[in-house]
Copies of this chain bind each other. A is one copy, B any other.
């Protein structure tokens, strides 16, 4: 990312929201997408931050995404529901799905909402985090368009299919995992190409499926675990497809219109998401959970590190970035700054 500007959070938020509204999004859709993009931008997940605002504005205007969706929820049992996103922005649908999953889980102990007829939802961690901030242990996931080979494969098959998990921690920010099931995202390949750097081993392959360190030869990513253990990453990607798409009847990764690398920006992509919530009150009980979580994280952070290294809990890096950016502002690349009217 070519940083040309560091913007205060409030200004970024206002401009992003205004840009989505200007592209036709209704207030609820624009608010949810802005919240999710700011989540990512605040925490340093810049690939899913305000950089995406211009993409969302494009697809709101081109027909792929419905700017004024009528979301409908069908409750199917005490702990399950299906939310039809009416091809609106995925962020609004996923926040609503997680909120419903949490409300149901408070009654039924565990609950899940499958989202259908949705679109790109940005950073999966935004929704898991929202649930953890409401006191529940949560999982959110979404399948995405094909870019990762199978283990031993020579073809794009799964998406980078993120898994996010979050859990409340007393008196601290939540435990927060938000990971792609490939080792790196595809835009990291493009960044390395721009920088003229070689890739790490076992993260990407050429059109024949042969691993390559040369970013200019890359046709597909290799699943987490690399050339030896990529069957694990491929299986995790498949798990995301199972819950997000097969379970909900949504578009499979390999059938999905590509996010950007396509001429079709008119057809809705019918992406599926899956949100799960578990209420600690219905298992060990809140007091015992809180005590165990505190003890676990204290032990983790005190665990010995290698020379020159340190150990962290999932989310610790993100909370540090958030604190830093709270002080200094959020870096914005040139194109996005221009799109949001920040460099005027």
The chain A residues found within 8 Å of chain B, CB to CB, are 76-82, 105, 107-112, 114, 116, 137, 150-155, 157, 165, 167, 175, 177, 179, 183-184, 200, 205, 208-210, 224-226, 228-229, 231-236, 238-239, 241-243, 245-249, 252, 254, 276, 278-280, 282-285, 288-289, 292-293, 295-296, 299-300, 303-307, 309-314
Contact B228 A224, beta carbon cutoff 8 Å: no
B246 contacts A154, CB within 8 Å? no
List 15 additional A-B contacts (Cβ < 8 Å) besides A77-B282, A246-B296.
Answer: A78-B109, A79-B105, A151-B311, A153-B306, A154-B305, A154-B309, A157-B300, A167-B242, A177-B238, A210-B306, A224-B229, A224-B232, A241-B296, A248-B284, A249-B284
Q: For residue A115, give the distance in angstroms from its CB to the closest CB of chain B.
A: 10
In the complex, what's the smallest C-beta–C-beta distance from A329 to chain B, in angstroms? 26
For residue A108, which residues in chain B have a CB less than 8 angstroms away from its CB?
77-80, 108, 110
A-B pairs, top 4 by smallest CB distance, nearest first, are A80-B109, A209-B306, A249-B284, A77-B109
Stoichiometry, as copies per complex, reads 2
A112 to B277: give the CA distance in the assembly, Å: 11
Asked if A304 and B77 sit within 8 Å, CB to CB, the answer is: no
Whether B283 contacts A114 by the Cβ 8 Å rule is: yes
Contact A309 B111 (CB under 8 A): no
Task: Determine which residue in A107, A112, A151, A224 has the highest number of CB atoms from chain B within 10 A of its CB, and name it.
Answer: A112
- Cα separation A284 to B284 with both chains bound (whole Å): 32
- A116, B296: Cα distance in complex, Å: 17
Q: Among the listed B154, B200, B247, B284, which residue makes an inter-chain contact with A306, where contact means beta carbons less than 8 Å apart?
A: B154
Question: Distance (Å) between the CB of A259 and the closest chain B CB?
Answer: 19
**Inter-chain contact A242/B304, CB cutoff 8 Å:** no
User: Once the chains bind, are B177 and A252 in contact (CB under 8 Å)?
Assistant: no
A311 to B307, CA, bound (A): 39
Q: With A209-B304, A309-B209 as given contacts, are A314 and B247 in contact (CB-CB < 8 Å)? A: no
Contact B80 A299 (CB under 8 A): no
Which B residues lie within 8 Å of A184 (CB)?
A: 229
Question: Which of B238, B241, B246, B305 is in CB contact (< 8 Å) with A289?
Answer: B246
A34 to chain B, nearest CB (A): 27
How far apart are A205's CB and chain B's nearest CB, in angstroms?
Answer: 8
